[in-house]
Amino acid sequence: MTRDTYVFIGLVLLFAAINGVLLASGTLTADWNGFGIIVAAGLTLALYSFLYKDNPLFKFAENIFVGVAAAYVFGQYWYQTIYGEIFVRLKALGGEDSVSGDWWLLAPTLLGLLMLTRFSRRFGWLSRLSFPEPSLRLYSPK
Amino acid sequence: MIQWLMNIDRRIIFVFVFLGVALPLLANVYLPIKPTRDVIAVYDQLEKVAEEDGVVLLSFSYGASTAPEMQPMARALLRHCFSRNIKIVAICLWPEAPGLAQQALEEIGNEFGKTYGVDYAFLGYKPGNFSVVLNMGQDIRDAFPQDNWGTPLEDLQLTQDLRTLQDFDFVFDLAAGDSIEFWWIPYGQEKYGFPFAGGCTAVMAPDLFPFLQSGQMLGLLGGLAGAAEYETLVGRQDKATAGMSAQSMAHLIIVVFIVFGNMAFFLSRRR
């Protein structure tokens, strides 16, 4: 085993021992709240382990943080805006609960959807229609 | 020895900084803190709002990366507002902010026995940056037709009579980006003329000093130091005051290493 492996095992054992003492003394509660604190502390230390050198534990924690952050932000956009204000109101169009002004929602929704065309090489240019300044440049003579 | 100091492994410095930050936090060391003029101005404005039985709009524009600096600030402000029975409407202009805002509102709200919908309301996150501010200046319900859990604003006792930004007695933005100088001041305070102040990370504070001099901001809480000063004013030492001890110790260690490094450099040149 290399020196780094000994350092890694030593730190994991130290972390486990400290948490064991905290749990035994009652400082940390043996429930989901306590478990959450241990996971948060472990992931934070895993990120700081980069200060020693790049390692698989750091990469693992880094990917978890990026994934959780991206999913959380998507959740906020989805529930608050895309579903909460666009989907629900567009679904009601033409029905009894329909609000006449809501037809205008179709315009920004379409412009927003056009931005997703960036994922296509063929239709990617359509995404530029959503931005006034680049769109003008698109149609201005060279 | 001098050569060793010149080539000191950076990881030794990391260990010193780690101990310098961890030990004051574990030992609950509190350094004396003296509130400054700009922090006192925010405190005085909220006292004025309390006397008028007013409503405050609290905007959360920060995420997890700046939470150690900004969350203690939010907690201190909420503690002051709730202790003086000031009503609070909270919004988020950053997608990462709702979790942090909700946590602070519920924790401090419960501490003072406050009721949701009557003493405070949480409208959640809305994308659009400055356009949300503009929209709220015209009609709050356009920007936030419902609260964070889908309840229409008409159904909440606190928000049913609020129409525009001018209905608030004070607006405070907790910012980790450029929301104060590029969203709230040009599209909110300057256009609609409401009392405004902000709190920001320490590195941003110097950028906002001109807005204090121009009177567009009543006061400013700058970084953890600003939060700790506010905790001192509120009379409840919390995470900011504890964090300042750790931060001061870390600064001291860095200064010591800079002095040692320079001494070693000049001594090695003499030889």
pLDDT value of residue B196: 97
Chain B residues close to A84, C-beta within 8 Å: 146, 150
pLDDT confidence bin for A43, thresholds 50/70/90: very high
Q: Is the model's pLDDT at A135 over the cut of 60?
A: no
Chain B residue numbers with beta carbons less than 8 Å from the beta carbon of A80 are 124-126, 148
pLDDT band at A133 (very low <50, low <70, confident <90, very high): low
Measure the CA–CA gap between A43 and A50, rounded to whole angstroms. Answer: 12
- For helices B10-27 and B239-270, angle between their N-to-C axes, nearest 10 degrees: 150
What pLDDT is recorded for position A142? 45
Q: How far is CA A83 from CA A88, A102, A112, B85, B128, in A?
A: 6, 14, 14, 35, 16
Q: Which residues of B232-248 are buried (b: 16+ CB within 10 A; e: fewer)?
A: bbbeebbbbbbbbbbbb
Chain A CB within 8 Å of residue B126 CB:
yes
Best of A45, A80, A83 to disrupt the B interface (most B CBs within 10 Å) is: A80
A69 touches chain B (CB under 8 A): yes
Least CA distance to A44: which residue of chain B?
Answer: B65
Mean pLDDT by 10 residues, chain B (271 residues): 78 90 88 94 97 96 93 97 97 94 96 96 93 94 89 93 95 95 95 96 95 96 96 93 92 92 85 68
- Residue A52 is predicted with a pLDDT of 83
Q: Which residue of B has its CA nearest to A75?
A: B95
What is the predicted pLDDT for the residue at B86? 97
Check CB contact under 8 Å for A73 and B150: no
Query: ∠B249-B34-B245 over CA atoms, to 5°?
Result: 20
Q: Which chain B residue's Cα is nearest to A70?
A: B96
Among B120, B107, B117, B116, smallest CA distance to B81 is for B120
Asked whether the beta carbons of B221 and B39 are under 8 A apart, the reply is yes
| pLDDT the model gives residue B103 | 95
Q: Find the residue in B nearest to A74 (Cα).
A: B95
Which among A52, A69, A80 is the nearest to B125, CB-wise?
Answer: A80
Query: How much is the average pLDDT of A104-130?
Result: 89
Inter-chain residue contact B126 with A77, CB threshold 8 Å: no
Q: Is residue B152 less than 8 Å (CB to CB) from chain A?
A: no
CB B49 within 8 Å of CB B170: yes
- Give the nearest partner residue to B95 out of A52, A73, A84, using CB atoms: A73
Distance of alpha carbon B248 from alpha carbon B254, whole angstroms = 10
| Distance from C-alpha of B216 to C-alpha of B189, rounded to nearest angstrom | 7
The mean per-residue pLDDT over the stretch A63-79 comes to 93
Q: Does B151 touch chain A (CB under 8 A)?
A: no
